[in-house]
Amino acid sequence: MENEMKLTNQLCFSVYNASRLFTKFYQKALKPFNLTYPQYLVLLSLWQQDNQTLHALGDELRLSSNTLTPLLKRLEQSGWVQRIQPDEDHRQLNVKLTETAKKQEKAIYKAIGECVSQEAFDINEYKAALQINNKLVEELEAILN
């Protein structure tokens, strides 16, 4: 039992390290664009569905508005997104891509693709890990909700 409680035997520690290393990995590809990994995730969501409400974007990314708002402010200041209050409801906030963000999408995907191809990721192991991780996330969300 004592050996099972070692730090290196903890799934939470392994997931934490994987998250930390993925962030570092993406920083390498995103550095030329002056983007952080969380900012990239926002852009990914908007590239899939532009002009989202703050609430919808937060749900998609599983981020609270307290976390998302400063992220969006920095993205807006650097010219990636626009935050717009619709005339019909000033309590609402919409987030949409700028032309710069739309034009840079392919270049960013290319930079990430080049980073991935330089590293020796086995695509089958990647897909299996993603499936296991998604199942883990679902189970944890069920417990916490």
- Give all strands (DSSP E) within 14-90, no chain letters: 52-53, 81-84
In a domain, 53, yes or no: yes
Expressed as residue numbers, the domain containing 40 is: 22-116
Tens digit of pLDDT for each residue in 52-108? 999 999 999 999 989 999 999 999 999 999 999 887 777 789 999 999 999 999 999
Q: Residue 79 belongs to a domain with what CATH number?
A: 1.10.10.10
Is a pLDDT exceeding 80 seen at residue 4? no
Task: Output the six-digit token pair for 137.
Answer: 């996330």
Q: What's the structural domain count of the chain? A: 1
Whether residue 125 lies inside any domain: the answer is no
| Per-residue model confidence as pLDDT tens digits over 97-141 | 999 999 999 999 999 888 877 766 777 888 888 899 899 989 998
The answer to whether residue 105 is domain-embedded is yes
CA neighbor of 39 nearest in space, from 22, 53, 26, 50: 26
The pTM assigned to this predicted structure is 0.85
- For the chain, the helix, strand and coil percentages under 3-state DSSP, each to the nearest 5: 70, 5, 20
With tokens 């590809």, the residue in question is 29
Other residues' Cβ atoms within 10 Å of the Cβ of residue 35: 24
